[in-house]
Amino acid sequence: MVDLLGMLAYGELVAFDRVAVDARLAPDLRRRAQLSTMAAAEIDNYRRLVARITELGADPQEAMRPFVDVIDAFHDSTKPRNWLEGLVKAYVGDGIADDFFREVAGLLEPDDRQLVLEVLHSDNEFAVAEITGAIADNPAVANRLALWARRLVGEALSQAQRVAAEHDSLTMLIVQGTGDLTKVGELIKRLMQAHADRMTTVGLNN
């Protein structure tokens, strides 16, 4: 459980400054402020997770440390080069992460389940509106963004495999929670299907 919260907490801390930097790519100050506000929300979530880790008798820094390299590696390999890439990254990344943690939350005790569900990203309307608007203005961007989305998912999967290989406790939580390895396969299938649906929503299903 501490492993899971540590991974979530470091994910939030990093999402905060990555999104804060990506906000500078915004074409105007209104959009920049909108993304900055989304980044700032991650810090509130971070604090709640750290409070819970402390409550469980663990050291938050120790709990986060095992995930620093893998989460940093994901972000280093997927730096957005423009505003739309930043938004697609937020949309794709938040979507998959939320789906994953929502599935895992089902395996937890009620208190922890509640906390994990509450720190998920509630709202992707802004990203959806920006991406679909940009594609409507210039359909040619859809191909590039679809390619970018595939790269994001590829990097996320390869880092997820690293986490699974390195963190037995997390892998066990999921295998035991779901029942067996077949169920883990089904979980991954559900995550990928939900991702494909989100791509369709914004017109990136090609």
Site residues (CB under 8 A) for its own copies?
10, 13, 16-17, 20-21, 23-24, 28-30, 32-33, 36-37, 39-40, 43-44, 46-47, 50, 60-61, 64-65, 68
Nearest distance, CB of residue 29 and its own copies, angstroms: 5
> How many whole angstroms from its chain centre is CA 141?
23
Secondary-structure percent of the chain, ordered helix, strand, coil, rounded to 5: 85, 0, 15
Give the whole-angstrom CA distance, residue 11 versus residue 103. Answer: 17
CA distances from 136 to 48, 69, 84, 139, 192 (A): 39, 38, 13, 6, 25
Q: Which is nearer to its own copies, 44 or 197 (CB)?
A: 44
Nearest distance, CB of residue 47 and its own copies, angstroms: 7
Nearest distance, CB of residue 180 and its own copies, angstroms: 35
Nearest distance, CB of residue 176 and its own copies, angstroms: 29
Tell me the residue type at 22.
D
Q: Which is nearer to its own copies, 21 or 184 (CB)?
A: 21
